[in-house]
Amino acid sequence: MKNEKEYAIVMNGVAKEFKVLNRREGLMGSIRDLFSRDYRTVTAVDDISIKIPKGQIVGYLGPNGAGKSTTIKMMTGVLEPSRGELIVNGCVPYKNRTRNAEKIGVVFGQRSQLWWSLPLIESFKLLKEIYLIPDDEYNEMMELYTSLVDLEPLLHKTVRQMSLGQRTLSDILAAFLHNPQIVFLDEPTIGLDVSMKAKIRELIKELNRRKNTTVILTTHDMGDVDALCERIVIIDHGKMIYDNDMEHLKTYYGSYRTLKLRMPGDVWEEEVIDESQTDVMSVISDYQKKGKILDIKLEEIATEEVIKKIYEGVAG
Amino acid sequence: MSETMELRAKRGLAFYARIYRKVLAQDLKSKMSYRADFIISTFGMIMTNAVGFISFYILFQNFPSINGWNYYEMLFFYGFSLIALTPLQCLFDNNWSLRYAVESGDFIKYCFRPINVFFYFISEVFDVKGLGQLAFGIMVLVYAWIHLAIPVTVITMVQLVLLLITASLFMIAIMNFAAATCFWIQRSGYVMVLMFRFKDYAKYPASIFDGLFKIIFTFVIPIAFIAYYPALVILRPDEIPLLSYLSPALGMLFFYLSYKFWMLGARKYNGTGS
Amino acid sequence: MRKYSALTRAGIMQELQFRLGTFATIFGNLIYLTLIYNLWKAIYASAGTEVVNGMTFSDTIIYLVLATALFNFLEMFIVWDMSRSIQSGAIVLDLLKPLKYRRLKFFEYFGRNVMTFFTTFLPTFIIVFFITKGAIKIGLNIIFFMISVVLALMVNFYIEMFVATICLHTESTWGINIVKESIVLLFSGATIPLVFFPEKFRIVVECMPFRCIYDTPLNILLQKPGYTMDTGLWTMLGMQVVWCAGLSVVSRMFWDISVKRITVNGG
């Protein structure tokens, strides 16, 4: 049992509800809307309880509109939970938004938080002032950055002039600059090419390792999950439907393998096998009866498939 | 508790002043690199002020006095209002972008830093071309001042500076209110456009309004405080109304309320999800 | 035509969706109008005479109030729309759409205009009509006024479009727009009726297209000398048509040349 202090985030039955205006359809409907007071309550986040230890990289997954960004907004102190207890870095984020903000870093989708028309180095200097980063820590961080990425060509570019990849990279660097306890990354690799994705993942992993920063990552990209996450939390319709570590996910669904066989006529046959039920060898021998097997491949099931199974399992 | 106190000390006025100075310096530097834009904008600023002055001049060609105020006294109000409106133009111009930030969802980015959201948002833009308006206003005011033969003393100078600063708060507050409506209403740009047009009428003496409207333009949309009430202190030192004395305090109060309203909107906006 | 009428309808719908907005606009306009009313009442009271430059107090008020209502009615944000879509790069998509961009904008705004006509202009007109008790004569002039307003709308659109096209060449939209706005408001008579302008200045201003937007329709409505059926109504309407055609051609040519330039340079 861990001491409460060792957790970066503790959520206890946290829920968030919104009031939404019911809009009517058509021309007359919009006229009636002018006078409407017809609201309904939508529960965006429903009774979520998790404890996230310091230094962990957590993949926070779910389909669009599942309540991911609402949760992030609550954790960052922008939104107040309707119910439940939420402690981030030992304090209640909504009551101490600025104090909480000092100890966290956020990269929100493709929206750069840097000053659009300033060279990156100037943005960094301003952040140094805003987060009151001491000179030595700042210099140390810049040295670390220089050792990890090719920083020099970026520093004198304005964010406006950067490519999407460079901008994302800069935003991530900016989010880690004040050595926060927790960094929230929302879709950090969206829209990037393969090599840039790899670069960004490497950077996040390295920064997490060196600074023991807790990372909360929301993404739709399973590559991100595979490369980074130690633990997976999945929510759907505001409810938490899965919370366990990556190992568990793999052992749980690890008994599933995809067997690929090249049969005469150069045809690849695919068979998903649950090893707890069926024996791989028996499947192979069944095929052998049909004809000569030219080639055999045995693949682990992709995480994406696993998560799809989890979604389906709950929805269906 | 003590940590909150410590934070207050760390991020006090000096902190914000330092941040503002740095942001401003950087912003100016980057603006200067867009020379053509700078020149065209400054030209636009001069044009709009020139046109304002021409309208004013045309009016006085037809009507030599309004409500007992002669041409130079009216010019005094005019110059005073232009100067009092400069801080709005220079320092609070980013309010015009607020609704785009809110509609596109970019506004959220201002909520993740350990500094005041209003400050962070507003500090992002310093509008240099407003200085053209300042120069124009000073010229008009000095011209009127000389013709009215108002004595130049330490007291009048101190009064002038103090009154100008507090007068400027009224229009800033009006525009804060107007800009913040976008947190509740979609496509609320017209509220700002409408309110911004009121500033053109700040230069006329409030004595032209009677009854209800005097109350409206004094307490609801307080444009009478942008030039009329504060300028009376200098123009009619023998019969200063109580409201003129109160104008600095009212200005600060009104600004504070507009700030609270803006912040309330920001909080509400984040609550609507998306 | 079907395509465009759908756009007009969409414009109306969009306008209606902003529920508080409609109330706010009406309320705001009322305050603004009382401001103008009080100002000119004081001005006329100080003048000592009933009629200045052929305009009585109620003439001036009707003129200015309706000018304000027209301003709301005619207001377009094409310059802003354009500069935003240029900055975001969406302009390329807009240009690729099968609908002609300029026509698309026109009908989009036409829908908006139809809506604002009923939400702001018409109520204002009715209020003014009853308050001034018969100062506005109801007759054929109303029909000519309507025709004139449609022409004004088009002249305004072409000026907007011309200025918006400038934005394809420069990034400083703010400066361009503010120059346009101040020039249009002054020279069209939206802030001060043109008859108050000093003689020589007025002659120059009357040679510009801006008067077609506010001054011409309002004078037709008020049946001022030079704007009635006997004295020159047809000339004034004719001038509007000529300006309309001229500006249409000019802004069209400018647009085509600019678009070609963009497509050549790859934007």
Cβ B115–A98 below 8 Å, yes or no? Answer: yes
Mutate to test the interface with B, among C13, C108, C178, C200 (most CBs of B within 10 A): C178
Residue type, C128: V
Report CA torsion sign: A191, A196, A197, A202.
negative
Q: How many percent of chain B have pLDDT more than 90? A: 43
Does A166 contact B at CB distance below 8 Å?
Answer: no
Rounded (5°) CA angle A115-A119-A120:
75
Q: What are phi and psi of A300, to 5 degrees?
A: -70, 145
Q: What is the domain count for chain B?
A: 1
Average pLDDT over residues B168-189: 88
* DSSP 8-state code for residue B69: B
Q: Which of A69, A53, A63 is nearest to A245 (CA)?
A: A53
Residues A222-280: tens digit of each pLDDT: 888 888 999 999 888 888 988 888 877 776 666 677 888 888 888 888 887 777 777 88
Is pLDDT of A166 > 70?
yes
Chains with at least 3 CB pairs less than 8 angstroms from chain C: A, B
Within 8 A of C19 by CB-CB distance, chain A residues are 33-36
Average pLDDT over residues A281-307: 80
Structural domain boundaries in chain C = 2-261
CB C209, CB C155: distance < 8 Å? yes
Chains with at least 3 CB pairs less than 8 angstroms from chain B: A, C
Whole-Å CA distances, A226 to A110, A198, A205, A306, C205? 22, 12, 12, 12, 71
- Give the CATH number of domain A4-250; options: 2.170.190.11, 3.30.70.520, 3.30.70.360, 3.40.50.300: 3.40.50.300
- Residue ranges of chain C with pLDDT lower than 70? 1-25, 97-99, 262-267
- Residues belonging to chain C with any Cβ–Cβ distance to chain A shorter than 8 Å: 9, 12-13, 16-17, 19, 22-23
pTM (2 d.p.): 0.78
> Token digits for B141?
């005011």
Q: How far apart are the first and last CA of chain A?
A: 35
Residue C148 to residue A102: CA distance in whole angstroms: 61
Residues B201-221: tens digit of each pLDDT: 888 888 888 778 788 888 888
Whole-Å CA distances, C258 to A136, C20, C52, C265? 53, 39, 46, 11
> Token digits for A181?
């306890």
Q: Which of A272, A269, A312 is nearest to A291 (CA)?
A: A269
Per-residue pLDDT band at A56 (split at 50, 70, 90): very high
Per-residue pLDDT band at A316 (split at 50, 70, 90): very low
**Higher pLDDT pick, C225 / A141:** A141
CB A149, CB A199: distance < 8 Å? yes
Per-residue pLDDT band at A11 (split at 50, 70, 90): very high
Q: Which of B235, B186, B243 is nearest to B214 (CA)?
A: B243
What is the pLDDT, as a whole number, of residue B92?
94
Within 8 A of B15 by CB-CB distance, chain A residues are 132
Residue A23 to residue B66: CA distance in whole angstroms: 51
Helix axis angle, B189-198 to C19-47, nearest 10°? 10
Structural domain boundaries in chain A = 4-250, 255-300
What is the pLDDT, as a whole number, of residue C266?
47
Average pLDDT over residues B242-265: 93
What Rg value do the Cα atoms of chain A yield, rounded?
A: 24
Mutate to test the interface with C, among B71, B190, B203, B223 (most CBs of C within 10 A): B190
Residue B94 to residue B107: CA distance in whole angstroms: 12
Domain that holds residue B52: 2-272
Average pLDDT over residues A157-186: 92
Which residues fall within 8 angstroms of residue B225, CB to CB, at 6 or more apart? B167, B170, B218, B243, B247, B250, B251
Cβ B272–A18 below 8 Å, yes or no? Answer: yes
